[in-house]
Structure 1
């Protein structure tokens, strides 16, 4: 009997200890109880917000509708330039007009004064579009996103586009007229400038037809065709040798520029009248806030092989990427190509 009572006492003590441990454990880990320890860690967790679900301006959401004479465009992007570009694209898209046989291009389709290749280049859906003198109605930045609303007066823009086309046609013709008896370097620079005129004319013509599908553009297209032919004749007189003694990855930018602009190249220095090389003036690479950054200066050197004349121009390229060195280099190559393409003068 004494043994039975002792055993019973031990069991009672053990049961009481287990109940106390269970109650304390539940109070510590039960997520339904409002204990400081449980909710402290939850409240301190940072909220990760996707830029796509950030609040946007009310005016951006409502999106004003076009009227007969007033057109709107809305765009967003990581930079203001990107947002503006997207707003211009949105403006054109909202017009819901397709450049096809139903537009004024049908009147030039059989015009033997205009090459079919040129017509295709102007009418292609991937062509750039120029919209001059647009007004910024609203502009906001929320965290890392830019929002913009632009507006144009349709009649005024059509008039501005016509003036822009005429101005670039006249400027291109004046530049081409100065190339007679000039050296290869001069002709190369004029070819670069006229190429920029042609690009503006093409993008303006496309915008003009979208805004006014029945407008007669035959005279503009004939003038553009003449300028394009004259430019091709000048380019045929230029033979470029790329001197890669100081070889670097920026030569791919140079070669892309030469190829896209249809310049003739040769691997034989004796056959060339122009030699082009890149000279590294300064180069720096470092890690900046977990990004691999390149900051370099190169000098584009163009030599007239006949006269020995040297022309040069420095270019500064800055590029950063959080994806490492190769990505930063790829970005730098595209930046240099863009600088070459958009430069007022090649040297």
Structure 2
């Protein structure tokens, strides 16, 4: 009987001991989890991690503030992606290009020229955004941008009006001017129209009940005047060599509705390309091209020559043809982003 008693007591003690151990296991797991989380968070604050804490945690939009996040190998590309992310949150899918835009406010007495950073997309424009977070980890840039919705709406209205005024004023200055001058005006007014269009789209997204009928009517008038201006320009592309960069030039002219003629005697503008300091080589299993492309625009009537250089640097692991394709794309992008191609 005594033996049975001791066995029973031993069993109870063993059960209690086992129960006690089982209650401690979740606590130990919780402590380990907390340690893991804390370690991960501390690692995210160190340069060895791949993503900053503020980037991975994100930031939801509010009624007044809009946010966007982007990461890339360059600060410019990361900012572009952050703005594209902001755009996507506005339920518009686009690609972005960042540039500096000169906006002229014309009050018929004096002109106030202001320079502001504006990001234009194929659909929308986001003026005067702020970069509120920026980091570089493992050669990757991380950017968070922010814009105030109410301020953006006011900026868009001002941007639309100032670009309408500038386009109208510029179009009145083309009479009896050289072909190169008219070409430069056509380029600027084209950018005005693009900016007006994208700004109007953004305004409609942010304020769906906006009445933009009057702006659309004026925009159509500007567009028609620009079309007439471009019709008066006949451009001859003088291919003095078989350089592949001519593909970029002709694409740019065609996309922007300029007239290209194959008869030199009918042209009032002659454009040719000259390669300077051309270098191609294999470097670390990549085919690399580095050169300067000088675009020379000649006014047929005045013999005015306007040169401008573009620097091209590109490498590709896929070989020569892939590197050439990249170089052609880069040159086209530079032409498209330039305030003036010459």
Q: TM-score range by the shorter chain?
A: 0.7 to 0.9
Q: Deviations over 1:177-211 (max 9, x none)?
A: 11001121111111111111112112222222111
C-alpha deviation, 1:158, in angstroms: 0.6
Per mean C-alpha deviation after superposition, the further-off stretch among 289-298 and 255-264 is 289-298
* Equivalent in the alignment of 1:152: 147
Alignment of 1:72-83 (within 5 A): 72-83=67-78
Q: Would you say 1:127 and 2:122 are equivalent positions? A: yes
1:318 maps to which residue? 313
Larger RCO, structures 1/2 (Cα 8 Å, 6+ apart):
1
Unaligned ranges ≥5, structure 2: 1-48, 94-120
**d(CA) in 1 for partners of 2:82 and 2:205?**
16
2:252 pairs with 1:240: no
Aligned to 1:272: 267
Deviation at 1:256, TM superposition (A): 0.7
Instruction: Name the residue aligned to 1:58.
Output: 53
Count of residue pairs the alignment pairs up? 267
Q: How far did 1:323 drift?
A: 2.2
The answer to which of 283-292 and 229-238 deviates more is 283-292
Do residues 164 (structure 1) and 145 (structure 2) align? no
Is 1:191 paired with 2:186? yes
2:246 aligned residue (251, 266, 271): 251
**Conserved 8 A contact 2:280-2:290:** yes
8 Å Cα contact 2:72-2:78 kept in structure 1: yes
State TM-score, norm by structure 1: 0.72
C-alpha separation between the residues in 2 aligned to 1:303 and 1:61? 53
Matched position secondary structure for 1:131 = strand
Q: Which residue pairs with 1:182 in the alignment?
A: 177
Q: CA deviation at 1:55?
A: 4.3
1:266-345 matches, within 5 Å, as 266-345=261-340
Cα distance change, pair 77–97 in 1 and its aligned pair in 2 (3 A) = closer
- The secondary structure found in structure 2 opposite 1:56 is coil
CA–CA separation in structure 2 for the residues paired with 1:332 and 1:97: 30
Report matched runs for 1:80-159 at 5 Å.
Answer: 80-96=75-91, 127-159=122-154
DSSP-derived class of the 2:309 partner: strand
More strand by share: 2
Supply the distance in 2 between the matched residues of 1:314 and 1:127 (Cα, whole angstroms): 27
Runs of 4+ deviating beyond 4 Å: none
Q: What whole-Å deviation, never above 9, does each CA across 1:288-345 have from its counterpart, x for those lacking one?
A: 3332221111221122223333222222222222222222211111111111111122
* 2:92/2:123 contact within 8 Å kept: no
Asked if 1:205 corresponds to 2:200, the answer is yes
CA deviation digits over 1:87-125, x for unaligned, max 9?
222222223479xxxxxxxxxxxxxxxxxxxxxxxxxxx
* Residue from 54, 57, 62 that aligns with 1:67: 62
Q: Deviations over 1:148-201 (max 9, x none)?
A: 211111000111111111111111122111100112111111111111111211
1:263 aligns with 2:258: yes
Cα distance in 1 for residues equivalent to 2:223 and 2:195: 13
Which of structures 1 and 2 has the bigger CA Rg?
1
Between the aligned partners of 2:258 and 2:270, the Cα distance in structure 1 is 13
Counterpart CA distance in 2 for 1:224 and 1:146 is: 39
The separation in 1 between residues aligned to 2:132 and 2:303, in whole angstroms, is: 54
